[in-house]
Amino acid sequence: MPRTIIDCHIHCSESKDDALLSYAIANGLKYNLAELFEMMAQNGVEQGLLLSPPMKNGKPLDNKQIVTMCKKSKDRLFPIITAEPSRTKVERSIELAKAHKGYVKGFKILLGYFPLYPYDRIYKKIYDYAEKENLPVMFHTGDTATSSGSLDHARPLAIDVVANERPNLKVVVCHFGNPWLQDTGEIMYKHPNVYSDISGMFVTGARYSRNYIDFLSRAISEVIYFVGKADKILFGTDYPIERYPDAIDFVRSLKLDERDIENILSKNARGVFDL
């Protein structure tokens, strides 16, 4: 299979303390780098972006380990630095991005896991640096992996404030803001520099999974009609949340032109992340 697909949202830690292990087990995945590389090859995935998974203590994996894992990948994986909201963590995230300039492909902000909105001043330096270096900032939006998350802070519409203030900052709304799909459509429609990934939207194996995936496919297609174009939609699995065959089938099920589907799988992310 020719390798052309870009997966813009992958997690991995190879740690037994990884909080995503339960998803991996439910999906029958080993959830390690060797398996990931094998699955990428089998499914025509050329490159991916690696993001810190949450650990069982609630904190994301140290970003340095993400960089180290990417270095083992022979340019198949590139790091996204997760910026936690503290002055020290923000400084460290920027230092790490500077130390690996050109290699680090963006930042991630975890909305919904802290009682902070995306326009909180704590993130200012991240946005300044990202804007200067043309690095996208990815935002976790929508449902939180834990029941203690704050949905109010995870709403994609709050990103409108940041996008208004910073028209040159590339913003990626993760998980299409699910369940706020239409809100995500609106901020993409309104802002030239707001994009969205369709990673981690579903799990398989539950009683109504098939119905739910069919619903999501229709709903996302319709939001894309509202936006008027599909060139801001980015493919992602949120590995180990979705398996590659399921995630790729999902993109192919969208009621869009074939050219748009291919661009979602590949070209759109190349442009946004400079891959």
> Do 227 and 185 contact (CB within 8 A), yes or no?
yes
Q: How far is the CB of 228 from Zn ion (least distance, A)?
A: 27
Residue 202 CA to residue 100 CA, distance in Å, equals 33
Comparison of 84 and 238: residue with beta carbon closer to Zn ion: 238
Which residue, chain included where needed, has tokens 């043309």? 134
84 contacts Zn ion (rule: CB under 5 A): no
Q: How far is the CB of 143 from Zn ion (least distance, A)?
A: 11
Q: Which residue type, as a one-letter code, is found at position 25?
A: I
Q: How far is the CB of 9 from Zn ion (least distance, A)?
A: 5
Contact range with Zn ion by CB under 5 A, out of 83-91, 97-105, 142-150, 234-242: 234-242
Which residue, chain included where needed, has tokens 């690996």? 100
* Total interface residues for Zn ion by CB under 5 A: 1
Residue 30 CA to residue 235 CA, distance in Å, equals 22
Comparison of 18 and 260: residue with beta carbon closer to Zn ion: 18
Residue 248: CA count within 13 A, CB half-sphere: 16
Comparison of 160 and 238: residue with beta carbon closer to Zn ion: 238
Residue 104 CA to residue 70 CA, distance in Å, equals 10
Residue 86 CA to residue 71 CA, distance in Å, equals 27
Query: Which backbone phi and psi does 214 adopt, to 5 degrees?
Result: -65, -40
238 contacts Zn ion (rule: CB under 5 A): yes
Q: How far is the CB of 270 from Zn ion (least distance, A)?
A: 20
Comparison of 76 and 175: residue with beta carbon closer to Zn ion: 175
Contact range with Zn ion by CB under 5 A, out of 13-21, 129-137, 221-229, 231-239: 231-239
Contact range with Zn ion by CB under 5 A, out of 37-45, 55-63, 215-223, 236-244: 236-244
Q: How far is the CB of 235 from Zn ion (least distance, A)?
A: 14
Comparison of 183 and 238: residue with beta carbon closer to Zn ion: 238
Q: How far is the CB of 238 from Zn ion (least distance, A)?
A: 4
Contact range with Zn ion by CB under 5 A, out of 130-138, 146-154, 160-168, 238-246: 238-246
| CA dist list (Å): 216 to 11, 22, 179, 220, 263 | 22, 23, 10, 6, 19
Q: Going along the chain, which residue ranges are E strands?
A: 5-11, 45-51, 77-82, 106-110, 137-140, 171-173, 194-197, 233-234
Comparison of 60 and 185: residue with beta carbon closer to Zn ion: 60
Comparison of 248 and 256: residue with beta carbon closer to Zn ion: 248
Residue 184 CA to residue 177 CA, distance in Å, equals 6
Q: How far is the CB of 241 from Zn ion (least distance, A)?
A: 7
18 contacts Zn ion (rule: CB under 5 A): no
Residue ranges that bind Zn ion, judged by CB under 5 A: 238
